[in-house]
Chain A
Amino acid sequence: MLNTILKYTGLFILLLAIQLLLLNNIQFSGFVNPYIYILFILLLPFETPSWLLLILSFATGMVMDISSVTHGLHTSATVFAGFLRPYVLNFVAPHEGYEQGDLPGIKAYGFRWFITYVIIIVALHHFFLFYIEVFKFEYFFRTLLRVLLSTGFTLMFIVIVQSVIIRR
């Protein structure tokens, strides 16, 4: 139990460091803003109770908001993603269901399962995040393009990070 908490604290710090020090400084013409910190919510164990998931999402979003001066923006999007995670997990569940003690990852359920799961959550999160950020329908298609491009890039970074973590 303690071991798990330590492991996830490490993951949390690692992801936020990558996000804040590296990805937040990337700028390709304003259309690509990958947000990899959502991977923390994605990788929590299957048995995590929903309320804990929501609280952790809230905390993650708060840390992001405080360190990038966007009040409540990341919090609302991450809580949204955390709320939908159990439903998405049900939706993409393999026939046999999930094994007790397994972690959501490429190792346990394969590349295709992982990608489907990640795409759904990341797309929902980014969709919510970018539309709340703009808060205008005036820029509907421009924002949609940003959502799609950023989802693609986040996915790419998540696969890279996930394949590195598996080795550990």
Chain B
Amino acid sequence: MRSLLNFLKKFGNVLLFILLELIAFYLLAARPNYHNIKLTKAINATKAAMRKKINNAVDYFSLSDINKQLVRENEELKNTLQRIYKSEELTTFNVTDSIYRQQYVYISAAVVNNSVNKQKNYITLDRGRLSGVKEDMAVICPEGIVGIIVEVGRNYSIAMSVLNLEFRLSARLSKNGYFGSLTWDGGNVNSLILKEIPNHVNVSVGDTVETTGYSAVFPEGIMIGTISDFDERGGDFLDIKIQPSTDFRKLSNAYIIANLKKDEQLKIESGIQGTR
């Protein structure tokens, strides 16, 4: 007994240190499922609510910017409407067309928490399971892509920002359709990286880069950004830097996109991989 006490006296601090580090690492490793931890869950809910209050006040100052953004978006929407009206004038009879079915649903959301100064940035949105949000849905804003939903609560959801070392997305050059893999290297917020574009492809600074829709997460043709710099570097592939069209430091409104045909696509794709 005495030797045990002596041992504790001598190494108690080391044991406590190891215990506390284990707790910390457990939390770190459990990140994707941290909602399971009741404490964090409760604190997160109150925090998100508090952030919302603060954001309400802060939002007031960026109203003019948001207004401009909305006007621009309205303009675009109106333009598409006009095109539809025109085409309808030409049709002389009505057909209920069963070829076209809605594939994407947009859910509007407000950004309640956001960061850009970490290596793995996450964004909290004020829509959750009750609004139909599920994991792996795409998040965009009027300017371009924002991220992918990774965690869903009742009223809030968390999206992995494009500014996250773990983020991967297939992206293509809009002018010729060559596609590659989009990542972020943890450095400059204003520079994403597009890999796997072959050397012979003709690219120039200012070219637009958009989503491909291959992954069944993002719809096709959503703006990502423009090429700000590229480098041949001797290999078979180009090193392309992209200036994102989204300003991640000023996010306030976002849309969560649900793909209604995603399950079907994934199921059929996994079927093929299974037989090969």
Contact = CB atoms under 8 A, between A and B. Distances in A.
A and B found bound together: yes
Interface of A: 24-27, 29-31, 33, 50-51, 54-55, 57-58, 61, 65-73, 75-76, 79-80, 83, 130, 132-134, 136, 139, 142
Contacts of A130: 119
B165 A70 contact: no
B187 A72 contact: no
Nearest to B122: A69
B119 A27 contact: no
Interface centre among B21, B24, B44, B120 (most CB of A within 10 A): B24
Nearest to A74: B24
B27 A75 contact: yes
Interface in B101-123: 113, 115-120, 122
21 contacts: A24-B117, A30-B188, A30-B189, A51-B16, A57-B20, A58-B23, A61-B24, A66-B40, A66-B44, A69-B115, A71-B31, A72-B29, A76-B21, A76-B25, A79-B17, A79-B20, A79-B21, A83-B13, A133-B120, A134-B119, A142-B187
Given A51-B13, A142-B187, 4 more contacts: A27-B116, A31-B187, A65-B27, A72-B27
B117 A27 contact: yes
B12 A51 contact: yes
Contact of B189 (A29, A71, A133): A29
Given A71-B27, A71-B31, A136-B165, A58 B20 contact: yes
Contacts of A67: 47
Contact of B186 (A68, A76, A134): A134
Contact of B124 (A50, A54, A69, A73): A69
B34 A71 contact: yes
B250 interface: no
Contacts of A132: 28
Contacts of B187: 29-31, 142
Contacts of B13: 50-51, 54, 83
Contacts of A57: 20
Contacts of A24: 115, 117
Contacts of A72: 23-29, 31
A142 B165 CA distance: 13
Contacts of A65: 27
Interface centre among B21, B23, B113, B116 (most CB of A within 10 A): B21
A23 B17 CA distance: 28
A34 to B, nearest CB: 10
Contacts of B47: 66-67
A163 B27 CA distance: 36
Contacts of B5: none
Contacts of B267: none
Contact of A66 (B23, B43, B118): B43
A30 B117 CA distance: 6
Nearest to B43: A66
B71 interface: no
A143 B20 CA distance: 25
A10 to B, nearest CB: 22
A136 B166 CA distance: 11
A76 B119 contact: no
B242 to A, nearest CB: 16
B205 interface: no
A26 B117 contact: yes
A134 B28 CA distance: 12
Contact of B249 (A27, A55, A61, A142): A27
A56 B164 CA distance: 30
B157 to A, nearest CB: 13
A68 B114 CA distance: 9
Contacts of B165: 134, 136, 139
A67 B115 CA distance: 12
Nearest to A133: B119
A29 B21 CA distance: 30
Contacts of A33: 117-118
